[in-house]
Amino acid sequence: MKKIFFAFLFSCICLLTFAQDATHFYPTHWWAGMKWNKIQVMVHGNHISDSIPMVKMGSKGMTLAPGISLTKIHRVENPNYVFLDITIAPNAKPGTFKLPSANNWTYELKPRRKGNGTEYAQGLNTRDLVYLIMPDRFSNGDESNDRIPGMRDQSLNRDTVFNRHGGDLKGIQNHLDYLSDLGVTTLWLNPIIENDMPNRTEHGYAFTNHYKVDPRLGGDNAYRELINAVHKKGMKIFQDAVYNHVGSYHFTVLDLPMKDWLHQWPKYTQTNYKDQAVFDPHASEIDKKIMEDGWFTREMPDLNQNNPYVANFLIQHALWTVEEFGIDGWRIDTYGYNDLPFMNRCNKALTDEYPHIFNFGETWVHGVPNQSYFCRNNYCDISFKSNLQSVTDFQCLWGITDALTKDFGWTDGVNRLYTTLAQDFVYKDPTQNVIFLDNHDLSRFFSVVGENMDKYLSGLTWLLTSRGIPQIYYGDEIATTGTTQPTDGYVRLDFPGGWKSDPVNKFTIQGRTQKDQEIFQHFATLANFRKTSPALTAGKLMQYAPEDGVYVYFRFSQKQTVMVIMNTSKEEKNISLDRFTERTNGFSKMKNIITGEIYPLGKISLKTYQSAVFELLP
């Protein structure tokens, strides 16, 4: 019989790099007054099960403190772990209590954060503009944490995209005024959890300890300070969740609690990346299993979310993080590769505890029905119903990309965008989708459109005026280039001015080129107009079928009407508004949002690939 992949690790416990003399609790503590009041505490240490005496418990368990009872002790395959089920009654008070052990263990129940979820966990809505930051590549605010002794990756080399560069949470905090002025309302950070891997740790997606903010980013205290500063500015912050996998140096991989903690295979099996297998009524079971249970990469072991201990570990960590740090919501990585019933449980636990919290999932798929399957906002008559609030709208990304890079045709060019939005009927509320032009895994949109300024400004215009919640990637507000070939590191370059030694500082107008400033001003003008625009933040969308490469759509509410015109043809167009009287009736003037100029309502001339945004006036 073939050995199970990674099972050999059980025979290597004595060689582990973590301190076996220590005892660790996960979650590290909990809170009084939480709805999730039945917690499962993972205890990890060298032969820790020997420290737990045989305890005789009554029908209601063993009382540990008033309102707190131990209901079950789980001894598992690996003696380095025990799992303790603890019930916390509504009348339980904050404080420290003893756990049954030979080592005098104590566990803390803390008072809840002020507001009980009303002053944090604020969620996301159509009034928001999300700014995605890779912390290692944005700004170095604290040089003392650039290298941390004892961590596996000691690289610090800004001359290569493969090493760490030293950006951190303090660097982000230092530039909150810049982001606020830009029109940003919400930060989404690529993962900030410890990634004690040997290399390529800049991206953060290979966790090694869920309960520790990476010290090279500043650690727990820097994260708290950043979140507090964000909230003081009236902004929000989202954390990147990774439920599907961990890094190969995660403590639960180096020292498996049990064989089925991970999805095990007779030999290494990578996911097939076929999202269709999840919902295809004709799919084979093996295709579906490989899709969901195959590993993302060799360095990222796949967690078995059907294992109840794994499920509790992940759900409790999500709740713990919101209460511990006060984040406002989650972006969920590789959503379709997770066990979807587990994800429903996790999403529900978060929304039960925090009614205003918002979760949006990465759905890197091709096809509107594919994407809608993973979102609660769909009308499809299917057996599985997701409760995920929002998805990353890759379909609109492909649409706007075709609109600005391909010739106009029956299904090509801007018709791809029009057709994509025409399929919004599959969603109950498509305005919840997060729309974007690029991110940390995709070529920079400025490079995608061949560094053509008119095309790029048209893309930004669409992003800030279409339906949905817009998300921009750091540096897209200036002329940032980069492609994923030969490596995705080239779309993760440093923000100029984020390091003391940088020759230019593009956080300031003095440091920007003329091209940078034109992009910045265009984006900031539209983004700040959008903040208070009832049409763009809460209005309906009406689009007109493109003609000869010209695409016209309206965002409108009872209080305001905004008209957007895009010329995606290769020649200048004189556009008559006669076809759009359904939306223009009652108006006689139009205000150009970018220039502030007011014109009589009439013909509009646009050069190739230019766009314009107008507020219609009586």
Summarised one tens digit per residue, pLDDT across range 118-131 is: 679 999 999 999 99
Q: Say which CATH class 7-110 falls into.
A: mainly beta
Residue of 153, 214, 240, 333 with catalytic role: 333
Nearest to 509 by CA among 494, 490, 524, 529: 524
Instruction: Find tokens 């390529």 and name the residue.
Output: 200
pLDDT of residue 411: 94
Residues 294-313 have a mean pLDDT of 97
Secondary structure percentages of the chain, helix, strand, coil, to 5: 30, 20, 45
The model's pLDDT over 473-493, given as tens digits with 9 standing for 90+, comes to 999 999 999 999 999 999 999
Beta strands in 399-455 (DSSP E): 434-436
Query: Is the CATH number of domain 130-395+431-535 3.30.70.1290?
Result: no
Query: Rounded to an integer, what distance in angstroms lies between the CA atom of residue 84 and that of residue 52?
Result: 10
The label of the residue with tokens 């490079």 reads 447
Q: Is residue 529 a contact partner of residue 518, using CB atoms and an 8 Å limit?
A: no
pLDDT exceeds 90 at position 6: no
Given this chain, do its domains 7-110 and 540-617 carry the same CATH topology? yes
pLDDT digits (tens, 9 = 90+) for 134-177: 999 999 999 999 999 999 999 999 999 999 999 999 999 999 99
Res 12: pLDDT:
41
Alpha-carbon gap, residue 458 to 22, rounded angstroms: 57
Active site residue 146: no
540-617 maps to which CATH number?
A: 2.60.40.1180
> Would you call 507 exposed, middle or buried from its count of C-beta atoms within 10 A (0-12, 13-18, 19+)?
buried
162 CB-near residues (< 8 Å, 6+ apart): 155, 199, 200, 487, 489
Distance in angstroms (rounded) separating the CA atoms of residues 417 and 551 = 10
Q: Do the Cβ atoms of 518 and 512 come closer than 8 Å?
A: no
262 burial via Cβ count (<10 Å: 0-12, 13-18, 19+): buried
- Does 18 score more than 80 pLDDT? no
Q: How confident is the model at residue 19 (pLDDT cuts 50, 70, 90)?
A: very low
Q: What is the pLDDT of residue 349?
A: 98
pLDDT at 320 over 60: yes
Other CB atoms within 10 Å distance of the CB of residue 363: 25
Residue 416 makes CB contacts below 8 A (sequence gap 6+) with 398, 399, 402, 403, 406
DSSP 212: E
333 tagged catalytic: yes
The answer on pLDDT for 58 being more than 80 is no
Tokens of 129: 């503009």
Bond into 27 cis (ω within 30): yes
Check whether 21 has a pLDDT greater than 80: no
For 495, the token pair is 């923000």
| Peptide bond connecting 486 to the previous residue in cis, omega within 30 degrees of 0 | yes
Angle at CA of residue 92, ends 57 and 322, nearest 5°: 110
pLDDT tens, position by position, 85-105? 999 999 999 999 999 887 889
Residue 305: which pLDDT band, with cuts at 50, 70 and 90? very high
Average pLDDT estimate for 526-545: 98
Q: Is the pLDDT of residue 2 over 50?
A: no
* The residue count for the chain: 618
- Reference 356, options 120, 193, 579; nearest CA is 120
Distance separating alpha carbons of residues 26 and 17, to the nearest angstrom: 19
**What's the pLDDT tens digit per position in 573-583?**
999 999 999 99
Q: What residues contact 402, with CB distance under 8 A and at least 6 apart?
A: 412, 413, 414, 416, 417
Cβ atoms of 364 and 296 closer than 8 Å: no
**Distance of alpha carbon 353 from alpha carbon 333, whole angstroms:** 21
* % of the chain exceeding 70 in pLDDT: 96
Q: Measure CA of the first residue to CA of the last residue in the chain; give whole Å.
A: 79
Token look-up 């429903």 returns 344
Indicate which residue of 292, 293, 302, 362 is catalytic. Answer: 362
Q: Where are the domains of the chain?
A: 7-110, 130-395+431-535, 540-617
Condensed to tens digits (0 to 9), the pLDDT of residues 222-243 reads: 999 999 999 999 999 999 999 9
Residue 100: Cβ within 10 Å count: 16
C-alpha of 126 from chain center: 16
CB 128 within 8 A of CB 236: yes
- pLDDT of 568: 98
Of the two residues 19 and 114, the one the predictor is more confident about is 114
Of 575, 557, 579, 558, the residue nearest 566 (C-alpha) = 575
